[in-house]
Amino acid sequence: MSDPVLVVDDLRVAFPNRDGGWVEVVRGVSFTLGKERLGIVGESGSGKSQTGRAILGLTAPEGRVTAKRLAFNGIDLLNCPPKQRRELRGGRIAMVLQDPKFSLNPVMTIGDQIVEALRAHTKLSKADAKKQALAALDQVQIDNPERVYKLYPHEVSGGMGQRAMIAMMLIANPDLLIADEPTSALDVTVQLQVLAILDALVLQRGMGLIFVSHDLRLVSTFCDRILVMYAGRVVEELSAGGLAHAKHPYTLGLLNCLPQLGANRHPLPTLDRQPEWAL
């Protein structure tokens, strides 16, 4: 592996509960990431998004984030000045969220938003920024960048919005992209297109990618490594080709629930969660 882009050691995220105590929703997650594609899978509520948000510094203000080490290219994220953290976010670390409709600004055109994102992190003139924004839209395979540049988010399809979002995140040339279920709101063909775009960009630019998803099969075809999360912990780490070597009963349960061609699946398998998995 190349020099680590990101080191996460014993990351914990907790929120206050009603009794004045704390509930840990991320409970000691550790991994390192080079210029590679890391998938994080796990069921709803397992702490995937909270892990991504903690890395970006976007945990809700009432939350508490601790770690033995949380470092990006050697920068200690938990102890660096807030200004430096803000500059990193959207600059060298970017995040694509699940639903572009909630992540894009509804009252600004797509083009203006990309230009704004770019000018927040560079000193380009307006004209140069526009040129780069159009190039970025072209790079995510939007056919008519000039036209889409002038559209508002509600005027574009989900897939196009998602690609515009990716263009906006990538324009600052991040070293690390966190994509939180970037394709789950899209139909399968558009999903594959968006994945292919992300894949090409990771290769061309040599950035690190954390790809969060529910979909174990999708993640295993697309990522180099997979972390399986359950109840705030990483219960298993697999290489992409290594699904067959999965050992944790939760991962095995997930695999068993995948549809199989030609198999007689009556009744449909369900996941039998054991209380000890959450310990």
Ligand X SMILES: Nc1ncnc2c1ncn2[C@@H]1O[C@H](COP(=O)(O)OP(=O)(O)OP(=O)(O)O)[C@@H](O)[C@H]1O
Q: Which of 37, 41, 47, 251 binds ligand X (CB under 6 A)?
A: 47
Amino acid at 227: L
User: What is the distance between the alpha carbons of residues 91 and 73, in angstroms, rounded to a whole number?
Assistant: 13
DSSP of 62-118: T-EEE-SEEEETTEETTTS-HHHHHHHBTTTEEEE-S-HHHHS-TTS-HHHHHHHHH
Name the residue nearer to Mg ion (CB basis): 49 or 183: 49
DSSP 8-class letter at 244: G
Give residue number: closest CB to Mg ion.
49
Smallest separation (angstroms) from ligand X to the CB of 117: 24
Q: Which of 5, 38, 49, 90 binds ligand X (CB under 6 A)?
A: 49
Nearest-CA neighbor of 26 among 9, 47, 53? 47
- Site for ligand X contains 253 (CB under 6 A): no
25, 50 Cβ separation under 8 angstroms? yes
Task: Tell me the CA distances in angstroms from 123 to 131, 153, 229, one per residue in order.
Answer: 14, 26, 40
**Could you tell me which stretch among 47-55, 131-139, 151-159, 262-270 binds ligand X (CB under 6 A)?**
47-55
211-230 mask for ligand X (x: CB under 6 A)? ---x----------------
Name the residue nearer to Mg ion (CB basis): 49 or 162: 49
Smallest separation (angstroms) from Mg ion to the CB of 249: 23
The size of the interface with ligand X (CB under 6 A), counted in residues, is 13
What residues from 50 to 89 belong to the interface with ligand X (CB under 6 A)?
Answer: 50, 60, 63
Taking each helix axis from N to C terminus, what angle separates 110-121 and 158-170, rounded to the nearest 10 degrees? 20
User: What is the distance between the alpha carbons of residues 167 and 263, in angstroms, rounded to a whole number?
Assistant: 41
Name the residue nearer to ligand X (CB basis): 47 or 145: 47
Name the residue nearer to ligand X (CB basis): 9 or 43: 43
- Site for ligand X contains 12 (CB under 6 A): no
**Could you tell me which stretch among 43-51, 120-128, 185-193, 197-205 binds ligand X (CB under 6 A)?**
43-51
Q: Mention every residue, 6+ apart, whose C-beta is less than 8 A from residue 7.
A: 32, 69, 70, 71
Name the residue nearer to ligand X (CB basis): 47 or 174: 47
Residue whose token pair is 């939007």: 142
Name the residue nearer to ligand X (CB basis): 171 or 223: 223
Q: Which of 48, 89, 163, 225 binds ligand X (CB under 6 A)?
A: 48
Name the residue nearer to ligand X (CB basis): 15 or 152: 15
User: What is the distance between the alpha carbons of residues 30 and 107, in angstroms, rounded to a whole number?
Assistant: 39
Enumerate binding residues for ligand X (CB under 6 A): 15, 25, 42, 44-50, 60, 63, 214
